[in-house]
Amino acid sequence: MKLQLVTGDITTMRVHAVVNAANSTLLGGGGVDGAIHAAAGPQLLAACRIIRDTVLPEGLAPGRAISTTAGALSAKWVIHTVGPVYSITEDRSETLASAYRESLRVAQHVGARTLAFPAISAGVYGWPMADAARIAVETVRAMTAEVGADIDEVTFVAFDERAARAFRTALDN
Ligand code: APR
């Protein structure tokens, strides 16, 4: 399972699955969530509404992940996950790691062999970028034994240079 870094807009990535840093409502928002819904079109929101009306009436809990179709995106799936909101009083690292782990398990389950991650929780949810990148890379690397036979490539998509430096450092460690 190859790990790589690109800088750019995750909605342009040509991968089987794009991971969305959603919120628990699954009904869209700003940041990468807003960008993915804007690029995917209304079918994505419709698919999310069906999930809310059926399997997840309470919404998606932090650290969990679920797949939908990808609407107009070139990807086949969007894997929605909810990262934890950063807290200085509570260590929520395990929930952030779980968001990456569960997204990989969903990708393996649906048969997505390539996927792209944004820097989950490192935007609106306030997680310090360097630590968010470290947790992302360490968690994905640790999943190689479990999902590596089914997932060929994981791309971390940095939206700006600050994020790219953080992920480059994490990948070089
Ligand atoms: N492509 C790749 N990365 C992006 C894009 C994009 N088009 N747009 C934003 N990002 C980056 C941000 O710069 C940040 O580094 O994604 C990272 C995650 O930031 P957020 O999107 O704010 O996600 P998060 O911090 O997990 O907060 C989730 O924000 O948008 C709302 O609905 C969302 O309530 C949820 C919350």
Q: Give tens-digit pLDDT for 77-121.
A: 999 999 999 999 999 999 999 999 999 999 999 999 999 999 999
The pLDDT value recorded for residue 39 is: 98
Low-confidence ranges of the chain (pLDDT < 70): none
For residues 143 and 139, give the distance between their C-alpha atoms in angstroms, rounded to a whole number: 6
Quote the ligand 1 centre to 162 CA distance (angstroms): 14
Residue with tokens 């991650």: 117
Domains of the chain listed by start with CATH number? 2-172 (3.40.220.10)
* Shortest-distance atom of ligand 1 to CA 126: 25
Look at residue 131 and give its three-state secondary structure. helix
Quote the ligand 1 centre to 1 CA distance (angstroms): 25
Whether residue 11 has its Cβ less than 6 Å from ligand 1:
yes
For residues 171 and 91, give the distance between their C-alpha atoms in angstroms, rounded to a whole number: 23
The pLDDT value recorded for residue 80 is: 98
The pLDDT value recorded for residue 53 is: 98
Q: What percentage of residues in the chain have a pLDDT greater than 70? A: 100
Whether residue 34 has its Cβ less than 6 Å from ligand 1:
yes
Hey, which of 23, 45, 124, 127 would you mutate to test ligand 1's pocket, going by the most ligand atoms within 8 Å of its Cβ? 124
